[in-house]
Copies of this chain bind each other. A is one copy, B any other.
């Protein structure tokens, strides 16, 4: 993900080994790791990396708009590197799997003027809940992984 690293460097970011590793971990499609998952994967590549650095770096990436915070279960925050394409999330209430999805309409258009209470509305997040093919097949009981709470 040298694209990301190049952008960050242009913005004056100091390129440390820790940040490189975190950027590498966040590379991919439909990636929605928790901070601890990012840390676990980062440790594989750089054993001495600390939890604090992971939290710091993720927070900075979010502030820079390079990563989006996602909360699908009301518990843990997850980090989505797909921040440059508008999308929403589809969550399996069985196993917690998360997919990025693109909608046909801007969700803002579904909120009528009379329901805006004078707010200046800027943004909408939509989370869909259902069961993924594997969980439907397994008829798994709904677990704690992803119940609707947003």
Interface set of A (CB-CB < 8 Å, partner B): 69-72, 74, 77, 88, 90, 92-93, 99, 101-105, 107-108, 110-112, 115-133, 136, 147-150
Q: CB-CB < 8 A to A116: which residues of B? A: 90, 101, 130
Q: CB-CB < 8 A to A101: which residues of B? A: 111, 115-117
Can you list 27 pairs linking A and B with CB atoms under 8 Å apart?
A: A69-B147, A69-B148, A71-B74, A71-B150, A77-B149, A90-B115, A90-B119, A93-B122, A101-B111, A101-B115, A101-B116, A101-B117, A103-B110, A104-B112, A105-B105, A105-B110, A107-B128, A119-B128, A119-B131, A119-B133, A121-B130, A124-B126, A124-B129, A125-B127, A125-B148, A125-B150, A150-B150
Q: Which of B124, B125, B128, B148 contacts A111 (CB 8 A)?
A: B128
